[in-house]
Chain A
């Protein structure tokens, strides 16, 4: 970068030159209007119902997940609305006591099992992982379709059980309440969770096999986009954790069916055993929910600050670190459950350990922002929101992971606020960032800039006002899962409920302007953000097999404005042969090994 040592004419001109777009390879030619009319891509190559329902194309399956997940999010949102509305008055505004139990359980279970766990892996993971590593499809395309249907029908069955009989145990399903006293559909709802869990295992397996075996030439582990690293770590957790939940639910079902005391102490069982086995999955499961979101943040952040990620290796390995250490901290959910004082101390210590890789990520993101050329388009607003909200959520998590403070804060609204900051402020915002960022790639259309920025701000404001009061009221001692509370807590609850409506409005807005963009949106072009990732080097929407030919990768995923990158592209331009269809020129055609 010779120009750096000279005095530039103006700061702006230097930045533009230095941080200009570096293509991963020669960018595909933008199709002309006439070509666009006849071009076949994954959306229009087959319009039949059969072609959608039985597709093995990972991109179409991703879109099916998008529709299904959005519908389930609506259900979970309605349940949340009922809960919050009921909490407007200290004695419960609209619901009976058992209805309230069913409403918050429906909100929790639907949002966790049918939204947060499948949303980014199902939609963006499916759509992007093969494209990002230059593959034509997932390693096991039919298995991919199967895991969608297993999840979908399991989810429908689960929602049906919630609607006809309800479930009032909370999402944690603790026995002996769930196995002995609850008169709701615990057994069948458990079966629904078991089925969706099976899908989670198969998706995780598919992603790991894809990342290991399907990478295109030149796509080394050190050049994997960090979203792929995050999805890989997520899949490891899905693979290792979910089977344990499955067998736990089976044992719960056996206890309920035959009355054998596995978990019920009155007939010889041990309820703590259930809690251990449940949290062995369910604590890592919160990392299933947040890691893909963190992966999205890396992609969006680098693009909209026009900078390489700070500390690629640290960010990549911190994902794996979270996945590994995340399996060792489940006991911090059971400090007050009677697991023993010294065991609690060990778990408190290990919980501090898992904060380290999360903090590494946050520090690396802020370091990436430093000195970058930041533009505030909707995906970036969501991303910055993520960093702030996730930091708050993460730091309040330390209060709960420390035994002394947890005794005071356990099972209060402080816990609710904490995990909503990580799950909603984290994952939901990351999901919105990712959806907006890749929407032009998925659909080929650009959404409204104004409305998307407005929606991002409405969501941010609504979110912060909903959950900040809950920290306060939780600290003051309001327990979670109670429909009634002392009148002096009403002001906090009214604030929270009012803001929840604003939040709801925010989540509704994308439905309208994203749908509108499909019909009225401008054509996005292949690379509207001038990003460097491999997925931007193919057409929008991508063709059925993603790339006309297997691409070859020569450098890392975030090389925004690096002079080496420019030099390599120059070399490429000189040496590459134009391929037969003239769209691509790759130097190393026909190389088939993934390494």
Chain B
């Protein structure tokens, strides 16, 4: 086994072999094989989540469409473009490593890192906007728009309550009016009981603490011009379930992206340290790219399942993205 400690490897050398392998061919084949096995487990891991998603998507289609309509498809589209491009650049990095062109290798890896980081930056922006819109299941914070809507609704209820109260006073007077006939008095007494019940009911509704997520969702869907399949035929608690899947599945994806970026930075350092002076070691780049492509592929499933299952238009996507990065003021959000 030719092993060289000099900075310039001997021609044809494949570099030092790890202690437990017989030769470089075995070592590299093992490395590649190990990554394929790892990807099998990853498929099963995401597969469990996709399976649960599918069950509820089939059970609650309208609610999931409503949830999807509230998502920012503009950012998702641009992110898809970034991620697919990064898959191209990492493949070019493999080729550069194979050809022994260190400079190109470094640049392509750097470009991949930048594209991946841009993805995460946009994703963070998207999470922030979701937070701004109050679309976090189980939260108790009303957005200003939602608060305005709730206050308006409440004011309407209190006005109603006042009207009922007035009717109540009239009926009470009528019930105790000796000049009326017995039948009229009885009729008024029944009306009194009825109005009292109505009043209590209306005041109870007006006094109830609103479900923040549901109110925020209403506003968000209004801004997204969501008409629904049959009007407002969705159940907000089911939409919470959609958002749970949205956060946990994209969250797991982001976690994998972060690991991938860590690997990329490590490979960049290895390039600088001369690890890839042996061109046979392009396999390490290839192995890492397998992981990167896998993460890419998961996103290609997340995009239709989460973002595209609701009604969106292209122009909406464009304006959403412009809004998100501050190129345009929002049509509705403030």
Contacts and interface: CB of A to CB of B under 8 A. Distances in A.
B19 to A, nearest CB: 7
Given A137-B19, A138-B20, A244-B45, A209 B37 contact: yes
Given A213-B26, A267-B237, A270-B55, A260 B44 contact: no
A217 to B, nearest CB: 9
B19 A550 contact: no
Contacts of B237: 261, 267-268
Contacts of B48: 243-244, 246-248, 277
B244 A254 contact: yes
Q: Which of A135, A213, A214, A261 has the most CB of B within 10 A?
A: A213
Q: Main secondary structure on chain A at its contact with chain B?
A: helix
A258 B26 contact: no
Contact of A209 (B34, B41, B55): B34
Interface in B12-48: 19-23, 25-26, 29-30, 33-34, 37-38, 40-42, 44-48
Contacts of A254: 244, 248
Interface string A255-290: 000111110000111100100010000000000000
Contact of B33 (A212, A239, A242, A269): A212
A205 interface: yes
A259 to B, nearest CB: 6
B241 interface: yes
B34 A140 contact: yes
Interface residues of B, number: 35
A576 interface: no
A208 B238 CA distance: 42
Contacts of A212: 33
B26 A243 contact: no
Interface string A202-216: 000110110011100
A251 B41 contact: no
Nearest to A142: B18
Contact of B52 (A143, A262, A550): A262
Q: Which of A135, A206, A241, A262 has the most CB of B within 10 A?
A: A262
A588 interface: no
B55 A268 contact: no
B80 to A, nearest CB: 24
A19 B34 CA distance: 41
B240 interface: yes
Interface string B244-272: 10001000100000000000000000000
A244 B51 CA distance: 10
Contacts of A205: 34, 37-38, 41
Contacts of A77: none
Given A208-B37, A262-B52, A135 B20 contact: yes
A139 B41 CA distance: 18
Interface in A192-231: 201, 205-206, 208-209, 212-214
A35 to B, nearest CB: 24
Given A137-B19, A251-B49, A261 B241 contact: yes
Nearest to B43: A243
B9 interface: no
B311 interface: no
B228 interface: no
A315 to B, nearest CB: 25
A273 B41 CA distance: 21
B282 to A, nearest CB: 19
Interface of B: 19-23, 25-26, 29-30, 33-34, 37-38, 40-42, 44-49, 51-52, 55, 60, 137-138, 237-238, 240-241, 244, 248, 252
Given A241-B44, A254-B244, A594-B26, 20 more contacts: A139-B34, A205-B34, A213-B30, A213-B33, A214-B20, A239-B37, A240-B44, A242-B41, A243-B45, A243-B48, A244-B48, A247-B48, A254-B248, A258-B137, A258-B138, A259-B138, A268-B60, A268-B241, A277-B52, A593-B26
